[in-house]
Amino acid sequence: MSYRLQILIVALLAVVLAGGWWSFESWGGGAEASKKSRKNGATLVLVEAVTLTKDRVSLRVVGTGKAIRSAALHPAVAGEVRKIAFKAEQHVRKGQALIRLDDKHQRLKVRLGEVALAEVTRKLGRMMKLAPSGHASRARMDTAQTALELAQLHLEQAKADLYDRTIHAPFSGVVGMTDLNPGDRVTQDTIAVTLDDRSALLVEFTVPEVHAAQIKVADKIIVRPWSAPDAAMRGTITALASRIDRTSRSLRVQAKIANPDGRLRPGGSFEVQLNFIGSAYPMVREVAVLWSRDGAYLWRIANNKAEKIFVRLVRRDKGRVLVDGPLTLGDDIVVEGVQGLRLGQKVKTALFKAGSP
């Protein structure tokens, strides 16, 4: 073997040995040393303590307005319309006559009753004058007294029949339109006119079952008519249903709003806003929340080691998040440095600056 060939073989062996040593350092001994270095050198993270904040819920639902008092007026008896004494949208007072039916025969019966009452009253008066002298017996006095009472009853009945020939307003309010005209025949089933007292309105709406326990009578709400969404009005809850509707899984609620000028009409739609104060939840910064296929989680630092805490997001609010999970007041949550953290990793902590975004 020549001298040059020996030198070439020795050089090749040296190259192979050097390459093997480099591979060992990179994949074996070097990696182990790097791992020991990382283990001994703690990662710096910025943390912020958990605070507890009550959940504030703003619920918006659609409601329907109805008059505080409303009635569809029917005639008490059948008959022919003689007079309509109102105009649509007119404000009427309680007891005011609205529609008069033909009442000629009833007026005659009232007149006959008045005449009969006057007659028996005169007879009883004469009996009372004759009684002291003994010319009127006790039996005749009793008969005259009975006749007087019967005449009074007949007159009252005739007046009631006459009253029934006119439809009166049962309360003060605004009358609607009527389809009746003089000469029309009506029965007790005919709707003559509607009457609404809209000095105040009742707004009815439903609340999901999950919020049913959070509302009560006298709670305040904000109401906006769909016809004027910028006109916010305050109302008060006046009634709650006694049970949850099994079909809609919601609770029926009734609230009252003022309507002094009568501008709002029954049947209109309203946006109803209810504000609730719920349970207290841990609050963290939104940047501290990470996601995995198992859900949302945070990094909590305990004993200078990283712990992964899975949470449920309750509500976002201006860069912060209310979460539900195994957290307590004062727990240190990683805000910066969350990327690359591993379970059980040793860390150094510093407080996150309050002015940081």
The CATH number that applies at residue 320 is: 2.40.420.20
Residues 83 and 186 in one domain: yes
Count of CB atoms situated within 10 Å of the CB of 69: 16
Model confidence at 291: pLDDT above 60: yes
Does residue 206 belong to any structural domain of this protein?
Answer: yes
**End-to-end Cα, the chain, rounded Å:** 76
In this prediction, residue 58 carries a pLDDT of: 84
pLDDT for position 136: 61
Q: What is the mean pLDDT of residues 147-164?
A: 93
Separation CA 128–CA 123 (nearest Å)? 9
CATH number assigned to the domain comprising residue 221: 2.40.30.170
67 by DSSP, 3-state: which? strand
Residue 26 pLDDT level (bands cut at 50, 70, 90)? very low
Three-state SS at 135 = coil
- Give the CB-side neighbour count of residue 288, counting CA atoms within 13 A: 31
- For residues 122 and 218, state if they share a domain: no
Find the length of the chain: 357
Q: How far apart are the C-alpha atoms of 302 and 292, rounded to whole Å?
A: 21
For 156-167, letters b (16+ CB in 10 Å) and e give eebeebbebbbb
Structure tokens at 325: 């999970």
Of 30-34, 137-141, 201-205, 266-270, which range is least confident? 30-34
> In this predicted structure, what is the pLDDT of residue 132?
64
Return the ∠ at Cα 331 (arms to 327 and 336), rounded to 5°. Answer: 110
Structural tokens at position 125: 């008066």
CATH number of the CATH domain containing 176: 2.40.50.100
Q: Which amino acid is at 107?
A: R
CB 276 within 8 A of CB 14: no
Query: DSSP code of 25?
Result: I
> Which is more confidently placed, 164 or 230?
164
Q: Is residue 290 located within the same domain as residue 318?
A: yes
pLDDT at 262: 84
Q: What pTM, to 2 d.p., does this model score?
A: 0.63
Tokens matching residue 320: 């912060």
Q: Flag whether pLDDT at 59 surpasses 50.
A: yes
Sequence-separated (6 or more) residues with CB below 8 Å from residue 277? 54, 55, 56, 57
Q: What is the pLDDT of residues 221-275, one digit of tens each?
A: 999 998 887 888 999 999 999 999 999 999 999 999 999 888 889 999 999 999 8
Q: Is residue 180 part of a domain?
A: yes
Q: Residue 111: its pLDDT value, please?
A: 95
Q: Is residue 260 part of a domain?
A: yes
Asked whether residue 309 falls in the same domain as residue 346, the answer is: yes
| Beta carbons of 92 and 162 less than 8 angstroms apart | no
Residue that finishes a domain, picked among 253, 278, 303 = 278
Q: How far apart are CA 296 and CA 291, in angstroms?
A: 4
Domain assignment present for residue 46? The answer is yes
Determine which helix (DSSP H) or strand (DSSP E) holds 105, and give its type and residue range. helix 104-130
Distance CA 357, CA 353 (A): 9
Split into its structural domains, the chain has a count of 4
Whether 47 is in a domain gets the answer: yes
Please name the residue that has the structure tokens 């809209």. Answer: 198
322 half-sphere exposure, CB direction, 13 A CA radius: 14
Which DSSP category does 210 fall into?
G
Whether 140 shows a pLDDT value over 90: the answer reads: no
Which domain range does residue 178 map to?
79-100+166-190
Q: Is residue 24 part of a domain?
A: no
Q: Are 226 and 271 in contact (CB under 8 A)?
A: yes
pLDDT, greater one: 67 or 23: 67
- Whether residue 253 sits in one domain with residue 292: no
Could you tell me the pLDDT band of residue 357, with boundaries at 50, 70 and 90? very low
